Amino acid sequence: MRRALAASLLGCAGCALPVVTAGTFLPAGDLRPGEFHASVSLEAGRVLAGPSDVHDGPTPLEAQPWEVSTWFASDASLRWQAFERVAFEAQLKLTNPVVPFTPALVGGALGGRVRLLQHPAGRGLAIEIAARLVGVGVEQRIDRSQDGRSQTDRWSYRAFGLEMPLVTTWRVNPLFAVTGAPFLRAYYIRAWHTTQVGLSETQNALQWSPVLTGGLGLSARPGTNAPTHFLFEPGVSIGTRF
**Mean pLDDT for the stretch of residues 186-197:** 87
Per the model's pLDDT, the better-predicted residue between 71 and 128 turns out to be 128
- CA 16/CA 106 separation, integer angstroms: 8
Model-level pTM? 0.75
Least confidently predicted of 21-30, 39-48, 99-108, 111-120: 21-30
Q: What angle do CA 219, 126, 35 make, to 5 degrees?
A: 105
What does the alpha-carbon distance between residue 92 and residue 8 come to, in Å, rounded to a whole number? 28
Question: What is the pLDDT at residue 3?
Answer: 32
Mean of all residue pLDDT scores within the chain? 76
Q: Which residues contact 37 (CB under 8 A, 6 or more apart)?
A: 26, 30, 31, 77, 78, 79, 81, 239, 240, 241, 242
Q: How far apart are the first and last CA of the chain?
A: 49
